[in-house]
Structure 1
Amino acid sequence: MAQAFVSSDGHRACGICPSRRFPLGEFDVAEGPSRECPFNPDDGHRYTLRGVPVCVHPEKVGLPPAPYKTDGVALLAGVSLPDDVAELDEYLRELVHGAAPGALELLIDLADREIRRAFPEVDATLALRRAFN
């Protein structure tokens, strides 16, 4: 069984999270543990009652709770920059370090466009590079 709380790779998701095993859209995300997504002691993972792998920590995978796999909900990534440019670095750091595996490239592209629109005086590339440090 995978280690439940492996985090040495810089991602906040648990070691047993389906976001580490499946591409985006191939698992559901629930608000938290519940009877609708019980723990399976045989393999150490959680599944919906329909057998779909489920993550129960949306804040760790950077996705809002939704039945992505079960109902075919489209993955929507959004970037909501702060109003104050002084808060930009902290926001971007949280954005990139909390991004779900596979969503990072999309979020970087969205953030780049939004930074250029909202803060034309800011070098978007440098701001995003700082976020990874």
Structure 2
Amino acid sequence: MLSPEELLDETCVACPGQRLPLGAFDVAPRPSPAIPFSPVLGYRVAADTGVPTCVHAFRVRVPPGLYASGGVPLPTSAVPPAPSPADLELPSDGTLLEAWLLALVRSTPAAQLQVTLARAEKLALERFPPAEILAAMRRVLGGG
């Protein structure tokens, strides 16, 4: 289970994990229009219920579940979920760029990481400004 400090480090700026502890929000299997970012609250919420919801289970290291809205208990010991194939696809939304890069890093063997990051940067440049890509890469790789 992630400590509060680790949860802050692992989650993106649109995640309720930046402000709430594990168990105080639901975890969805992936981003969707049904879980938009709420500028008022500062994190994603399920549009139909208003429940804070993380959309990257692999980042919070628990399986998708209705932890806040359904009372599902947090797992006590489990293998963190791996990024799904959908997590490895270049997003169209810039707020998901960091999560995409992190999914690529977590699913790439160390010996292939340099090649994977170079390909990711080239692909991302087709859709996002260089400064946005650099900022996301720095956050993912721990350089600021």
Structure with max Cα Rg: 1
The structure with more helix, counted as a fraction of residues: 2
TM-score tier after normalising by the smaller chain length: 0.3 to 0.5
Give the TM-score normalised by the residue count of structure 2.
0.44
